[in-house]
Amino acid sequence: MTRTPTPAKPSTPRRRGRPAGRSGPGRDSDARAHLLEVALRLFAEHGIAATPLSLIARKARVTPALLHYYFGSKDKLVDALVDEKLQPLSAALGQGLIRSGHDLRSALEVFVGTLIELLSANPWFPPLWVREVLSEGGQLRKRLIERVAPALAHRVRDLAAGAQAKGRLNADLDPRLLMVSLIGLTIFPLAAQPIWRAIYAADDITPEVLRRHVLALLLRGLELDDAN
Amino acid sequence: MTRTPTPAKPSTPRRRGRPAGRSGPGRDSDARAHLLEVALRLFAEHGIAATPLSLIARKARVTPALLHYYFGSKDKLVDALVDEKLQPLSAALGQGLIRSGHDLRSALEVFVGTLIELLSANPWFPPLWVREVLSEGGQLRKRLIERVAPALAHRVRDLAAGAQAKGRLNADLDPRLLMVSLIGLTIFPLAAQPIWRAIYAADDITPEVLRRHVLALLLRGLELDDAN
DNA sequence: AATTTATTTAATGGATAATTTAATTTCAAG
DNA sequence: CTTGAAATTAAATTATCCATTAAATAAATT
């Protein structure tokens, strides 16, 4: 009922035609890049299917037709997002693991560190990932699962299995579950941030605090001393 | 394009009127309960908003009108689901923690154990929780966050902070992040099950294996022996 | 017989969304 | 200047889909 029929309130209803642009020689007006950013934010917040082009357009202060002008269709917009935003980030995440050598401890320290760092710098990723990869029917599931995930998952499992065989890793762990545990301790908490911030205001929980917490838990566990 | 106009294929198009029922004295026909089950399954799979009543009806081999007969509206159907399915399960989860005394180790063992047990017995929970609680805009967020979560979260935090103050808990952990970590190691992996099962077929990862893995990780950590 | 319960059929009434076409304005090149 | 290309909007097009209600029907209960 708060919805205005159509005229809405485009405070700057921008009249037709090409806008008088600062077309400096350096960069073109960058409208496309801006649209991608806005779309990414909204897709992360509401989910891809639940985000109409008209919403993206409104937030970007343009019309849906312009989205078609730049991207051709909603599907191709998603494609562009995957190619230009998701793949690069996923690749960067993968690098952290690959480059880290075969010592499991240092590999983990590097991986967790860069992971938390990258995710904090790209806060749209965790919620988007939860919706579109983790959830059944997510639109990015296939694309990301077929490319990025297996390489990482197998690498982690193999590192772990190797260490375990040599008695250097807690024998009660399942190497195949280690990758899931890693994600459950990093991407998941960041996606859940709005929830725990609502439960106990915790502005002092910085990415660095999270990193320390996760690595402490992974490397040493709770270190409970009994004594009831 | 696989969608049939309307006539669909209700192989048993059930003729009108009250069906000839086994109305045995013991239990009434149980149709309502069945509808709730079907709705729950579909809501978990596709999300609440994305599940039309017509789909629930089709899967339950009835018509949408019957859903209104029993529940009045889609909203009220969701209410019924929360009251009759979610609250009880959440409460049971909470019990596991409350009853477990104040020794942190045994509390955790009990909590993780019952949690994994209950979730495995109710596989609809993790995906539903991811969609409707974890995701922004989820329809169950408010209801569950305001009731169940704070009690649990504060309890865990206080137990942890207490233990930490007495030097009995790894000092690098943040007590407030412990609850999130617990969920990230239990509910999250179960919600992600379809993904890792697709990556490496792992039929031998039973709930018991997961429980052992999680407790091993929590209580002892990776126990890495360096040596590269 | 009469009434209540369970069910379907068949509207009803909205709402929304992606995409296309045509018009408009500015910019850049000749 | 002139002209064509680029960027934008307005308006139309087209395609659904979905919750809810009203009325009809059949069985069960009293």
A14-68 pLDDT tens trace: 778 677 765 443 344 689 999 999 999 999 999 999 999 999 999 999 999 999 9
What is the pLDDT averaged over residues B175-197? 96
Chain A, residues 110-149, CB within 8 A of chain B, namely 127, 130-131, 133-137, 141, 145, 149
Determine the residue among B128, B224, B225, B226 to mutate to test chain A binding: the one whose Cβ has the most chain A Cβ atoms within 10 Å.
B224
Same structural domain, A171 and A193: yes
pLDDT of residue B141: 93
- Nucleic acid strand D within 7 Å of B19 CB: yes
- Tokens 């169940």: give the residue: B148
Residue A24 in domain: no
Task: Please say if the pLDDT value at position B177 is more than 90.
Answer: yes
Task: Please say if the pLDDT value at position B120 is more than 90.
Answer: yes
pLDDT of residue A13: 62
Same structural domain, B122 and B150: yes
Reported as a pLDDT band with limits 50, 70 and 90, residue B22 is: low
CATH code of residue B126: 1.10.357.10
Task: Please say if the pLDDT value at position B24 is more than 70.
Answer: no
- Provide the mean pLDDT of chain B: 87
Same structural domain, B65 and B94: no
CB pair distance less than 8 Å for B213 and A181: yes
CB pair distance less than 8 Å for B135 and A157: no
What is the pLDDT averaged over residues A124-142? 96
User: DSSP strand E in chain B: where?
Assistant: none
pLDDT of residue A152: 86
Chain B, residues 154-183, CB within 8 A of chain A, namely 154, 157, 163, 167-170, 172-174, 176-177, 179-181, 183
CATH code of residue A61: 1.10.10.60
Q: Which of A110-114, B65-69, B71-75, B180-184 is predicted least confidently?
A: A110-114
What is the pLDDT averaged over residues A148-175? 91
Which of B202, B209, B218 has the CB atom closest to A221's CB atom?
A: B218
Residue B50 in domain: yes
Same structural domain, A111 and A180: yes
Residue B215 in domain: yes
Reported as a pLDDT band with limits 50, 70 and 90, residue A8 is: very low
What is the pLDDT averaged over residues B67-71? 97
Triad B140, B146, B151: Cα angle to 5°: 125
Reported as a pLDDT band with limits 50, 70 and 90, residue B29 is: low
Chain A, residues 14-43, CB within 8 A of chain B, namely none
Residue A60 in domain: yes
Same structural domain, B196 and B121: yes
What are the tens digits of pLDDT across the range A60-104? 999 999 999 999 999 999 999 999 999 999 888 877 777 766 678
Residue B42 in domain: yes
- Final residue of a structural domain among A71, A91, A125: A71
Same structural domain, A95 and A169: yes
pLDDT of residue A1: 35
Residue B131 in domain: yes
Same structural domain, A134 and A162: yes
- Final residue of a structural domain among B71, B102, B122: B71
What are the tens digits of pLDDT across the range A189-212? 999 999 999 898 889 999 999 999
Q: Is the CB of A47 inside 8 Å of chain B's CB atoms?
A: yes
Phi, psi of A88, deg, nearest 5: -55, -45
Q: Which of residues 150-179 of A touch strand C (CB under 7 A)?
A: none
Q: Dihedral through CA A122, CA A124, CA A126, CA A129, nearest 10? A: -120
- Quick check: B189 and B210 in contact, CB under 8 A? yes
Q: Is the CB of B55 inside 8 Å of chain A's CB atoms?
A: no
User: DSSP strand E in A65-190: where?
Assistant: none
Same structural domain, A127 and A50: no
Contact partners, residue A190, CB within 8 Å, separation at least 6: A116, A119, A120, A123, A126, A210
Reported as a pLDDT band with limits 50, 70 and 90, residue B143 is: confident
- Nucleic acid strand D within 7 Å of A18 CB: yes
Residue A151 in domain: yes
- Final residue of a structural domain among B42, B71, B100: B71
Three-state secondary structure call for residue B2: coil
Reported as a pLDDT band with limits 50, 70 and 90, residue A2 is: very low
Domains in chain A: how many in total? 2
Task: Give the Cα separation of B44 and A73 in Å (integer).
Answer: 29
Same structural domain, B160 and B216: yes
- Nucleic acid strand D within 7 Å of A19 CB: yes
Same structural domain, A131 and A215: yes
Select the more confidently predicted residue: A25 or A215. Answer: A215
Same structural domain, A51 and A107: no
Reported as a pLDDT band with limits 50, 70 and 90, residue B123 is: very high
Residue B135 in domain: yes
Question: Could you list the residue range(s) of the whole structural domain that residue B45 is in?
Answer: 31-71
DSSP state of A82: I
Reported as a pLDDT band with limits 50, 70 and 90, residue B183 is: very high
Select the more confidently predicted residue: A156 or B135. Answer: B135
Same structural domain, B50 and B146: no
Q: Is the CB of B151 inside 8 Å of chain A's CB atoms?
A: no
